[in-house]
Structure 1
Amino acid sequence: MLPVLNNDYVLSRPDLQISREYLSYPEKVLQFGTGVLLRGLVDYLVDKANKQGIFKGRVVVVKSTDGPVTEFSEQDNLYTTHIKGVAQGELINRTLVNASISRVLQSNADWAEVLKTAQQPDLQVIVSNTTEVGIQYVAEKIVTGVPASFPGKLLAVLWERYQHFKGSATSGFVIVPTELVVDNGRLLQAIVLQLAAFNQLPEAFTEWVKTANYFCSSLVDRIVPGKPRDLETLQQQAGYRDGLWIDAEPFLLWAIEGGEQVRQVLSFQQADARMLIAPSITPYREQKLRILNGSHTISVPLAFLGGLNTVYECMEHTYMRSFFRTVVMDEILPTIQDICPQANTFAQDVLDRFANPNIAHKLISITFQESSKMNARNVRTLFRYYERKHALPQAMCLGFAAMLLFLRPVKEENGRYFGARGTEEYLITDDNAAVFAGYWKAVATAEPVAVTSLVQQIAADTRLWEADLTQLPGFTETIGTHLLGMMQEGTLAYAAKQKELRIV
C-alpha cells in the first residue's frame, strides 16, 4: 500500500526541497480558483521561488464551486507537477512536489474565513482564474451573504481589508487576474468600482481602491492537461499516492503589466525569467496571437482535410512539420520581429510545443470559429508580409485556400452546416457558416470560372475581414489556383506538388 503524499512524507525526503521552515511561511497570496492552470503556472512559480529562498510565502486558495475541499486537505494541499514535453529540441520528463498552497477554502461554506484572510498583514497578492465569463458585472450586495460573482467576492475582500486597516495607503494589494480577456486588469478594476458605487460604499474607499491597489493586466500561456491517464503507473514509480497530480508542458509565460512596486511585491518573479513584469504586455500578446494562434489557424484546415487529427500528428508528418515551420519562421516571424523583442525565441518554443507527444490537441477543436480567428490572427499578417516583402506568403496562401474548402458545406440540418473529409462528415462550428454556404451554393463543381468568382467575392467581403483582401496584389488569383487544385487533387496531395512549397 503506497503512502499518501502529505507533510510527514515530504519532510522525510530532503530531495523534495520542502522543509519545516517552508511549511511555516505566512500566507502572502489569495488565489481565486483551484484549476490546473493556476496550480501549474502561478503556484508552480511561487513554489519554485520558495525553494530558492526568495519569496517565502504561501497561497491560500478559494474554491468557488460547491463541494468539499477534502481532496486537498487529505494530502496537506501538496501535489505533484509532472513536466513533460519538448524544450530546445530535447525531451523533458521531470516531477516535483509543490508545497505552495497552505489551505483551500470553499467560498460558500468558509466565506467568513475568506474575509478573515484579508486581515492578515502579510497578504499582499490576489490572483484569479475564473474563466472569461468570471470578469463580468453583476449588480449584487456584497455585505449580506456570499457574493455570487468573482468581482463581488473581490470587492468584499477589499472592503474587509480597508476597514480592518483603516484605509492605510500601504494596505492595498497587487491584483493579477489571469482570465483570457484583453486588458483583464483594467476591466476588473472598472467592474469593482462600478460595483462599489452600486453598494454605495464610501468615496474614501473608492479612492483607496484606485490608489492603494494595483490592478495588473496579465497574459498567461502554459498548457496544463491536468491529471494523467497513466496515474496509477506514475504513482507506483513515485512511491506515493497523489490524487491532485497534474501534468504540465515545459513552456510557460506569465506577462504582467506593472512597475517597480509590482515587481517588489511579486518577488517570486526572480525565480523564473519567463515571468515578466513590464510597462506594457502588448508585445507578448501580439506574438502569441500571431505566432502561436495564427499558425494554428492557417495550418489546421490543410492538415485536417489531409487526414490528420492532432497537432502532434502534424509534427510527425514530414510535409506538415515543414509547413508549420515555414509559416512560423519564414512568414509570420518577419512581420513582428520589430515590435516583439522576444519573438525569435518564442517562435522556436512554439514549434517545440507543437511537437509535444504528451498533448493530444485535436485539429477539429482548433477549427472552432475558424473564419473569425483567421481574421483576427492572420489578415493583418498577410498585409504586413506584403508590405515588407512585396510578395505573398505562399504557405499562408495555401492555408487560406484550405480554410475555404474546409468551410464548404455538403449538407445543412436545422441551421447547422456539415463539411466532408472523404466519406466522413464534420460539423462546421463557425458563426459565419451560413455566409460561406451562400457563396459555395454557386459552385457545383470544380469549374475555374466559378471558383475564381467565389474567391473574389469572399475576399472582398468586409463583413468577414478587417480589410478588403482583393487589395493584396495577386491574392485572389493565388487563392483561386490553390483552391481549384485542392478540389481536384486533395489538399496534401496538391500541396506536396507545389515547388515553392516543397519544404520537406
Structure 2
Amino acid sequence: MLPILNKEFISKHPDSGVYERIYSYPEKILQFGTGVLLRGLVDYLVDKANKQGIYQGRIVVVKSTDGDTNDFSSQDGLFTTHIKGISQGELVDELLINAAISRVLQSNAGWRQILDAVHQSALQTIISNTTEVGIQYIPERIGKEAPASFPAKLLAILWERFNYLGGSNHTGFVIVPTELVVDNGRLLKDIVLQLAAYNELPATFITWIHEANYFCNSLVDRIVPGKPRNLPAIASAAGYTDQLWIEVEPYLLWAIEGNDIIRKTLGFYQADARMLITTSITPFREQKLRLLNGSHTAAAPLAYLYGLNTVYECMQEEHIRHFFHQVVLKEILPTIAEGCPVATVFAQEVLDRFANPFIAHKLISITFQESSKMNARNVRTLIRYYEQYQVLPPYLCLGFAAMLLFLRPVREEAGKYFGQRAEEEYLITDDNAPVFAAWWKEGTNITAMVTGICADKRLWETDLNTLPGFAAEVASLLTILQTEGVKAFMQLQHQKN
C-alpha cells in the first residue's frame, strides 16, 4: 500500500522540496475557498515564495461549502500540483508538493476558530473565490453563528478584528476577491458597507473599513482541470497517494490593482513575475476578453460544425488551426496591442494554451450563450478593426456567419431548440435562441435575414449594418457554408490562401 502524502512522508523524503521550517511560518492569509483555482494559483504562488524564502507565511483556509475537511487534515494540508501543458512551444510536465496551507476550517462548524484566527496580528490578507454569485447583497444580521453569504462573513470578520485589535489603522486587511466579476474589489466593498449599515454598526467602524482596509480589484487566469482521471496510475509512479492532487496548465496571470502598501503586504508577488500589482488591471482584462475569450467565441461554432469536439482537436487540424492563428494574431491583436503592450506575448501564450494536450475543453461548452458572448467580446473588435483598416476582418466575419448557422434550429421541443451537425442533434444553450429561431423561420432570403439580425437591438450593442458591407459579407459566407458544408468550405479556403 502506498503511503499518504503528509508531514510524516515528507520527513522521510528530503528531496520532496518541502522544508520543515515552512511549518513554523505564521498564518498571514485567510482564504475563502478550497477550490482548485485558488489552490492552483494563489496557493501555488505563496508556496513558491515560501520555498524561495521571500514571504514566510501560510494560509488558513475556510471551506465554505458543506462537507468535512478530512482530506486536508489527514494530509496536513499538503497537496500535489502537477503542471502539465505547453509553454513557449515546449512540453511541461512538473510535480510540486505544496505546503502553503496550515489548516482548513469548515465555515459553520469552525466559525469560532475562524474568528479567533483573525486575532493574529500577522494575518493581514483575505482572499476569496466564492463564484460570481458569491458577491451579492443579501440582507442578514451578523452574530455568534456563521452568516450565510460571503460578504456577511467578511463583515463579521472585520467587526471581530476591529473589536479585538482596537481599530487602529495598521490592523486592517488587504482584501483580494478573485471572483470573475468586473471591479470585484469595489463591488465587494460596497456590499460590505451596505451590510454594515443594515447591521447598524458604528461610524467609527465604517471609518476603519475605509481607512485601514484595502479592497483590491483583481483578475485571475489559469486553467486548473483539477484531479486527474488516472490518479491511481500517477500516484503509483509518484510513490504516494494524494486525494488533493490537482493538475494545472503552465500559464498563469494574477493582476491586482494596488499600491506600495499592497505590494508590501502581498510580498509573495516577488516570487513570480506573472503576479502583477499595478495601478489598473483594465488592459489585462481587455486582452483576456478579446484574445482568449473572443477567439474561442469566434471559432467554436465553426469548429464544432466542422466536426471537431475540443479546442485541442482544433489545434491539431490544420484548417481550424489556421483560423485560430489568423483571428488571434491578424484580426484581434492589432485592435488592442497599442493600448496593451503585453498583448503580443499574451496572444502567443493563448495559442500555446489552446494546444495543451492535457486539457479537453469542449467546443459545445464554449458555445453556451454564444450570441451574448459574441456581442460582449467581438462586436467591438469588428468595429475597431474596420476603423483601423477600412476593411472587414475576414475571419471574424466567417466566425459570425458560422454562429448564425450554429444557431439555426432544426426543431423545438418544450421551449428548447436543437441544431444539427451531420446526423446528430445538439442543444442550443443560448437565451437568444427564440430570437434566432424566429429569424430563421422567416429566412427564405438570406441577405434580408442577416440584415435584420444585424439590426436587432435585442442582440447587439450597435446596429451592425452601420459597418459597411458586413451584412452582405456574412450573408454570402452563410450561403456558402449552407450549400457547400463547413468542412468543404474550410478546406477549399485554406488551399486558396
TM-score of the two chains, using structure 2 as the length reference: 0.99
The reply on whether 1:307 has 2:302 as its aligned counterpart is no
Q: Distance in 2 between the 1:235 and 1:463 partners?
A: 52
2:458 alignment counterpart: 463
Please report how far the alpha carbon of residue 485 of structure 1 lies from its aligned counterpart in structure 2 after TM superposition: 0.2
2:476 alignment counterpart: 481
Q: Can you list the C-alpha shifts for 1:61-108, whole angstroms capped at 9, x where unaligned?
A: 000112210110001110000000000001100000000000000011
Alignment of 1:35-74 (within 5 A): 35-74=35-74
Query: Match for 1:463: what amino acid?
Result: R
Structure 1 segments (4+ residues) deviating >4 Å? none
Conserved? CA contact 2:17–2:96, under 8 Å: no
Alignment of 1:371-382 (within 5 A): 371-382=371-382
2:347 alignment counterpart: 347
2:435 alignment counterpart: 435
Q: Can you list the C-alpha shifts for 1:384-416, whole angstroms capped at 9, x where unaligned?
A: 001111111111111110000000011111111
Does 462-471 or 187-196 show the bigger shift?
462-471
Alignment of 1:1-150 (within 5 A): 1-150=1-150
Q: Distance in 1 between the 2:496 and 2:386 partners?
A: 21
Give RMSD over aligned pairs: 1.0
In structure 2, the CA distance between the partners of 1:467 and 1:169, relative to structure 1 (3 Å rule), is same
Q: Distance in 2 between the 1:61 and 1:42 partners?
A: 12
The number of residues matched between the two structures is 497
Query: Match for 1:207: what amino acid?
Result: T
Out of 493, 499, 502, the position equivalent to 2:488 is 493
1:174 alignment counterpart: 174
Query: Match for 1:498: what amino acid?
Result: Q
Alignment of 1:167-316 (within 5 A): 167-316=167-316
Q: Can you list the C-alpha shifts for 1:411-467, whole angstroms capped at 9, x where unaligned?
A: 1111111111112111111111111111100235xxxxx011111111111221111
Q: Distance in 1 between the 2:306 and 2:316 partners?
A: 14
Q: Can you list the C-alpha shifts for 1:467-497, whole angstroms capped at 9, x where unaligned?
A: 1111111111111110000000111211332
Q: Distance in 1 between the 2:45 and 2:289 partners?
A: 24
Does 423-432 or 282-291 show the bigger shift?
423-432
Show structure 2 runs of 5+ residues with no match: none
Q: Distance in 2 between the 1:143 and 1:466 partners?
A: 45
Does 460-469 or 335-344 show the bigger shift?
460-469
Q: Distance in 2 between the 1:15 and 1:385 partners?
A: 53
Query: Match for 1:307: what amino acid?
Result: G
Query: Match for 1:249: what amino acid?
Result: E
TM-score of the two chains, using structure 1 as the length reference: 0.97
The reply on whether 1:363 has 2:358 as its aligned counterpart is no
Q: Distance in 2 between the 1:485 and 1:104 partners?
A: 57
Please report how far the alpha carbon of residue 502 of structure 1 lies from its aligned counterpart in structure 2 after TM superposition: 4.7
In structure 2, the CA distance between the partners of 1:189 and 1:502, relative to structure 1 (3 Å rule), is farther
Query: Match for 1:304: what amino acid?
Result: Y
Show structure 1 runs of 5+ residues with no match: 445-449
Please report how far the alpha carbon of residue 263 of structure 1 lies from its aligned counterpart in structure 2 after TM superposition: 0.7
Q: Distance in 2 between the 1:407 and 1:82 partners?
A: 38
Conserved? CA contact 1:11–1:18, under 8 Å: no
Q: Tell me the secondary structure at the aligned position of residue 464 of structure 1.
A: coil
Q: Can you list the C-alpha shifts for 1:288-312, whole angstroms capped at 9, x where unaligned?
A: 0000000000011110011100000
Please report how far the alpha carbon of residue 50 of structure 1 lies from its aligned counterpart in structure 2 after TM superposition: 0.2
Conserved? CA contact 2:184–2:218, under 8 Å: yes
Q: Tell me the secondary structure at the aligned position of residue 497 of structure 1.
A: helix
Q: Tell me the secondary structure at the aligned position of residue 269 of structure 2.
A: helix
Conserved? CA contact 1:82–1:94, under 8 Å: yes
